[in-house]
Amino acid sequence: MKIYTKTGDKGTTALFGGTRVPKHHIRIESYGTVDELNSHMGLIRDQDINQKYKDVIIDIQNKLFIVGAILATDPEKAVLKNGKERLNIEKISAADIELLENEMDLMNEALPPMTHFVLPGGHQSVSFCHIARCVCRRAERLASALNDLEPFEAHALTYLNRLSDYLFVLARKLSVELQANEIKWIPEKK
């Protein structure tokens, strides 16, 4: 399989279904940001962290490919006029979202209660989680804007929302496990 096709040399790219759009189209920005997030997830997985987290991250990375496929699909080409699906695209399920929630609940049981915002950092692995969280929020914002224009499967947007929460909790959990200094943000009084 050739990596370069030359079909995008004039600033357009094809969606799943064949429709060509400009490379700066919000749909491309949306799934491109999900792809960026997936790369950051790989960086977290490459850290010296508990294998349980790595296993969950592999599951997340697989789900992010599904979210990307959903976002990369021309909605007019995905469904026939009678409502049947034309393209075979996997979906994000309620169980996928529930997995993130259950993992957060498990991690939260071992964490001190939050009383303040925390400054990102303290350890490289923790910082990678915070960077991924921010990229995830950007992906969610772009996907939300796209959804306003061309609605797509609702669980995909919910999954991005929950994933950013998961990454925040994972950052806090790794702070404890790696004995990183979690610095509370306390606004200065003037």
Cα 19 versus chain centre, distance: 25
- In the chain, the domains with their CATH numbers are 20-74+89-180 (1.20.1200.10)
- For the stretch 142-172, pLDDT in tens is 999 999 999 998 999 999 999 999 999 999 9
Q: What are phi and psi of 184, to 5 degrees?
A: -75, 145
Across the chain, what does the average pLDDT equal? Answer: 88
- For the stretch 122-136, pLDDT in tens is 999 999 999 999 999
Share of the chain above pLDDT 70, in %: 84
For the cut 70, the answer to whether the pLDDT of residue 6 exceeds it is: no
Strand partners for 14: 20
Residue 108: which residues within 8 A CB-CB, separation 6 or more?
169
CA separation for the pair 152, 159 (Å, rounded): 13
Looking at residue 123, its pLDDT comes to: 96
- For the stretch 9-41, pLDDT in tens is 667 776 676 677 657 779 889 999 999 999 999
Its pTM stands at 0.88
